[in-house]
Amino acid sequence: MNYINQGSKDTRSGYGDAMTELGRSNPNVVALCADLVGSLKIQPFIDENPERFFQVGIAEANMMGIAAGLTIGGKIPFTGTFANFSTGRVYDQIRQSIAYSGKNVKICASHAGITLGEDGATHQILEDIGMMKMLPHMVVINPCDYNQTKAATLAIADYDGPVYLRFGRPVVPNFTEAGGTFEIGKALLLEEGTDVTLVATGHLVWEALLAADELANKGISAEVINIHTIKPLDEEAILKSVAKTGCLVSCEEHNYLGGLGESISRVLVENHPVPQEFVATKDTFGESGTPAQLMKKYGLDSTAIVAAAEKVLQRK
């Protein structure tokens, strides 16, 4: 593998550290939080910029509206709560007051997906990518590690428009370049290969790299693409890869209905139909457990990706 773990960290700390930097570099950036400051790692931002922090309490709908209002006057609001409460709980508020109104709000969502772990299915949202990508003009980003979450947080401050930024709770390998640039909508080719394309987002990018190693041991050459931006989707990168490999596995910590995989399927059927397998949850809720246990049980780890790759190769 061309990548090494520089020391595992949680992606949400990438968000918090980037907010600290934004607090110093961009006077228009303001932060809102719904009683989850510790979870979102934004205490340093608050300490340095108390007047630019809005603690709204356990009232997420109000938080989304206040964020929309803060843009009127030139502020760049970053809302922070768990992914579940950042999307499903406040979908209509986001739809009308932010997306349809074209407000420059950054909806920053921690504890996304099944790796939230022991709190269980009430908090493990596996439908958020679908909900958010369906909103016209909403940008949807799911970075893979600490470094990329930090870079993405910094980048979206410079983008004018609503963004959904999805990251997680657990400590995971940190393997992308520290201080690297982040280009919204630009896929990253991590490993070149010729037999099968693995397109992964979020925590599953590292699993895809592990899977590529396992596949190499079996004599299968896998190409690994990190799709940090699910919308707008880098269609060119996907089509270029499948033109070479002729098959694809999509990997995401999300329901296969409405997620990254379905977005890719649309691109393939419209342009270059090839077999595709989905590493994703299969129309199910999660449950309590450790992140590793849940990734294994719900078929989201490198073993599941290897199996999906072998299956899709047989369909070529």
Query: Sign of torsion, CA 30 23 82 258?
Result: positive
Q: Which of 165, 127, 191 is nearest to 11 (CA)?
A: 165
- Closer to other proteins by Cβ: residue 39 or 101: 101
Q: Which of 310, 271, 31, 12 is nearest to 157 (CA)?
A: 31
β-strands 229-231, 106-110 pairing: unpaired
> In the numeric block, which tokens belong to residue 163?
């963004």
Count interface residues toward other proteins (CB under 8 A): 32
Residues 18-57 that bind other proteins (CB under 8 A): 30, 51-52, 54, 56-57
Q: Nearest 5 degrees, angle CA 20-CA 151-CA 2? A: 135
User: Does residue 135 interact with other proteins by CB under 8 A?
Assistant: no
- Closer to other proteins by Cβ: residue 96 or 284: 96
User: Does residue 77 interact with other proteins by CB under 8 A?
Assistant: yes
| Helical spans, DSSP H, in 26-145 | 37-40, 43-48, 60-71, 83-86, 91-93, 128-133
- Residue type at position 285: F
- Binding segment toward other proteins, per CB under 8 A, in 94-102, 147-155, 222-230, 276-284: 94-102
- Binding segment toward other proteins, per CB under 8 A, in 99-107, 247-255, 258-266, 285-293: 99-107
Q: How far is the CB of 166 from other proteins (least distance, A)?
A: 23
Beta-ladder partners of 66: none
Q: How far is the CB of 109 from other proteins (least distance, A)?
A: 19
The question of whether 253 is a catalytic residue gets the answer no
User: Does residue 232 interact with other proteins by CB under 8 A?
Assistant: no
Pick one of 50, 74, 179, 219: the residue that binds other proteins (CB under 8 A). Answer: 74
Catalog residues that contact other proteins under the rule CB under 8 A.
Answer: 30, 51-52, 54, 56-57, 59, 61-75, 77, 92-93, 95-97, 100-103
The residues assigned a catalytic role are 60
